Amino acid sequence: MRLYNLQKLVYANKVRRDFNVSDVGKEVILMSEEFGEFCDAYIEEDDVEIADAFGDIIMYCLGLSAMFEWNAEEIVNKDPSFKASPQTAADCMPYIGRSIGRIAKTYKKSNKRPVATIDLRDDFKTHIGDLMGYCLTALAVIDVDPYPALERIVKDNYVREHEGQI
């Protein structure tokens, strides 16, 4: 239930701050930006920012889950498939990037309507669930307990003064 409770907080904050709650494409762009931040943090060998990027990607997944009216706890892939057991953040990078790409491709192939009437919902559900699973695995691989980290991000986003979009 922890993911679902976090999902409700993420969505409530989006509504409270008048952030996007209907445009899937906008969320895909913002999620892609977070993947870029992960890549920057990886190049800089900044473990704190790497963990933050994984968490922020999960935040977008939770927001999308709420927008689609799914329970994130029910759609997360709890056993994501890797060719070999990941040992580092780099081992997770291609899987996370591929999942974000699949979400973007699904959006591109969809009818691109507001979330209430968007099609290809089952594909979105699968790819969002996979992405959450890969990011949760990545956090575990870098020895970050995912739930306290996610709770911190939710709290930080709630009190943040700038115009971030999570």
Residues of the chain with pLDDT under 50: none
Q: Can you read off the two tokens belonging to residue 29?
A: 């762009």
Contact 60, 67 (CB under 8 A): no
pLDDT given for residue 39 in this prediction: 96
pTM over cut 0.85: yes
pLDDT given for residue 6 in this prediction: 96
Alpha helices in 45-120 (DSSP H): 47-68, 72-75, 89-109
Distance between CA 137 and CA 131 in Å, rounded?
A: 10
Annotated domain spans of the chain = 2-159
Distance between CA 166 and CA 163 in Å, rounded?
A: 9
Contact 27, 35 (CB under 8 A): no
The model's pLDDT over 90-105, given as tens digits with 9 standing for 90+, comes to: 999 999 999 999 999 9
pLDDT given for residue 157 in this prediction: 85
Distance between CA 77 and CA 58 in Å, rounded?
A: 12
Phi first, then psi: give them for residue 52, nearest 5 degrees: -65, -40
